[in-house]
Amino acid sequence: MTEKSLTENKYWAVVPSAGVGQRMGAAVPKQYLEINNQAVIEYTLDCLLTHSEIDGLVMAMHPDDHCWAEITVSAEKPLSIVNGGEERCHSVLNALSYLLQHVDANDWVLVHDAARPCLTHEDIDQLIDQASKDIGGILAVPVNDTMKMADMEHHISATVDRDRLWRALTPQMFRLGKLHEALTQALAQNALVTDEASAMELAGYKPLLVKGRTDNIKITCPEDLLLAEFYLQQLKR
């Protein structure tokens, strides 16, 4: 990618990091668990902050976070901290509101999960190149498994056609102003959306699906740490 001129829109990363990771059953939030003596969040931030197109990063953190002080981030780009909210969508909105006070509403934001440490620069390139020509978009992968729909008693009620199903990943990239407006409207409707694309969909947009790597996994369960460790050993960012 070429160097940006002063008239070009910029790209900002937003990382919601206020979750406590209850499913992990760990003593610290999952983003602070270690892989090869390095915290998950350090891998995540390093990938984002060392990408040539990312101009800076805003992280939404739990007000009572006591682990961040132990984290080492070596980057020459701006890294700002805002308070996180009760749900992921609240944290993202807080970060977007902060950005709107400092940068252009037409700039792009890439929202990425704190606990996805296996992101690559190549996937960020693909997202920026493709989604910037559209309303915005998300990294995703087509579903390969047979998909089942369950009833309330966990019995199979139907087999779902997987041909058009994709798993949503992050980053998810949209114009700052449009995403802020979409999230604000979603929350006003009491829709606690679990990703940014859902808010954009509620606002009437059709975000682009950009095929990403299947190893861009989210640390959710204890076994994910071993898988992420393996993937990180193979990656060359």
Looking at residue 113, which CATH number applies to its domain?
A: 3.90.550.10
Q: Which two tokens stand for residue 34?
A: 């270690």
Handedness of CA 187, 191, 197, 201 (dihedral sign): negative
Angle value at C-alpha 48, between 184 and 136, nearest 5 degrees: 45
Q: Does 184 fall in a domain?
A: yes
Q: Which positions of the chain have pLDDT values less than 70? A: 1-7, 20-26, 236-237
Residue 193 within any structural domain of the chain: yes
Q: What is the DSSP string of 102-156?
A: TS-TTSEEEE--TT-TT--HHHHHHHHHHHTTSSEEEEEEE--S-EEEE-TTS-E
2 found inside a domain: no
Is pTM, for the whole model, over 0.75?
A: yes
pLDDT in tens, 8-24: 789 999 999 987 655 55
Number of domains in the chain: 1
Tokens representing residue 137 in the block: 């978009």
Question: Residues, the chain, total?
Answer: 237
Pairwise CA distance, residues 47 & 59, whole Å: 14
pLDDT value for 9 = 85
Q: Provide the residue range defining the domain that includes 43.
A: 11-234
Q: What is the pLDDT of residue 194?
A: 95
145 burial (CB, 10 Å; 0-12 / 13-18 / 19+) is exposed
pLDDT score, position 5:
46
Q: What is the pLDDT of residue 2?
A: 36
CB-CB contact of 18 with 53 (8 Å): no
One-letter amino acid at 23 equals R
**Residue 20 to residue 188: CA distance in whole angstroms:** 25
Long-range own/partner contacts, residues 61-66 (CB < 8 A, 24 or more apart): 61/17, 61/18, 62/17, 62/18, 62/19, 62/20, 62/29, 65/17, 65/18, 65/29
Query: Counting beta carbons within 10 angstroms of the beta carbon of residue 153, is it exposed (0 to 12), middle (13 to 18) or buried (19 or more)?
Result: exposed
pLDDT value of residue 224: 94
In a domain, 197, yes or no: yes
Identify whether 1 is part of a domain: no
pLDDT for 1: 34
In-domain check, residue 190: yes
Q: What are phi and psi of 140, to 5 degrees?
A: -160, 165
- pLDDT of 45: 97
Residue 4 lies inside a defined structural domain of this protein = no
Output the pLDDT for position 26: 64
Q: pLDDT value at position 230?
A: 94
* pLDDT given at position 7: 53
Q: 62 lies in a domain?
A: yes
Helix (H) or strand (E) holding 22: none
